[in-house]
Amino acid sequence: MVFVGTGAIVVNNWSGGQLSHVGICLTFGLIVTALIYSLGDVSGAHLNPAVTLGFWASGRFATGSVVAYILSQCLGAVLASLVLRLMFPEDLGLGATRPSGPVMQSFCMEFILTLLLMMVILGVSTGAKEKGIMAGVAVGGVITLEALFGGPVSGASMNPARSLAPALVSLDLKNLWIYLVAPVLGAVAAVPLAHFIFEQPATEKSI
């Protein structure tokens, strides 16, 4: 996901804007959709530490697997950014996420975007896996949608690993904390809200 998604930003810079903002957003959504359909039955295709922690907070994910998943996500992301560095050494940012305005504006944007994303994921998932014919379309679609309008504000990361990797490889850690903290808080905050909406007693749902 990081290789293709942040790679789209790098290629857009390298090609003088041929992909465009819309193209970058579609690339992120499409790669997530593809990975959900290909890896969903294997690992749940979390791809995102915030999502893993959201599943854990909802009681759908084993505590003993959390650290391994997050380490795998971050390691994969860093390796992807290292490959992009080798391929495009002239690109200094490697698709890093940065606030376009005030720090708290981006923090709030990342919190809300991740909360909405986690709500959708919890709504279309079974246990800790996104399953079903439309699960990949729903999750990929909401990522595309949120990137379209949130990208110009905060970069629409919604994923600590996605932001951590290019920041580490490019050695630019300024404001990284936004993208480590806000998505996690947003994902965890989505859990009680999703429980209230999706898990009402049967008598209340039969209207």
What pLDDT, in 10s, does the model give residues 144-197? Answer: 999 999 999 999 999 999 999 999 999 999 999 999 999 999 999 999 998 888
Domain range list for the chain = 2-89+97-198
Q: Please write the tens of the pLDDT for every residue from 174-186.
A: 999 999 999 999 9
Place 203 in a pLDDT band, splitting at 50, 70 and 90.
very low
Instruction: For the beta carbon of residue 172, count every other beta carbon within 10 angstroms.
Output: 15
Asked whether the predicted pLDDT for residue 202 surpasses 50, the reply is: no
Say whether pLDDT at 71 is over 80: yes
- Per the prediction, the chain carries an average pLDDT of 90
Does pLDDT of 21 surpass 90?
yes
Q: Give all strands (DSSP E) within 77-142, no chain letters.
A: 125-126, 129-130
Asked if residue 37 lies in contact with residue 123, where contact means CB atoms within 8 angstroms, the answer is no
Tokens for 36, please give them. 């959900």
Query: In terms of Cα–Cα distance, which of 107, 81, 108, 82 is closest to 95?
Result: 81
Percent of the residues in the chain that have a pLDDT greater than 70, as a whole number: 92
Say yes or no to pLDDT of 34 above 80. yes
Mean pLDDT of 8-16: 96
The answer to whether residues 50 and 184 touch, using CB atoms and an 8 Å cutoff, is: yes
> CA–CA separation, 107 vs 119, rounded Å?
18
Kindly state which CATH superfamily the domain 2-89+97-198 is placed in: Glycerol uptake facilitator protein. (1.20.1080.10)
72 burial type by CB count under 10 A (0-12 exposed, 13-18 middle, 19+ buried): middle
Which residues partner with 130 through β-bridges? 125
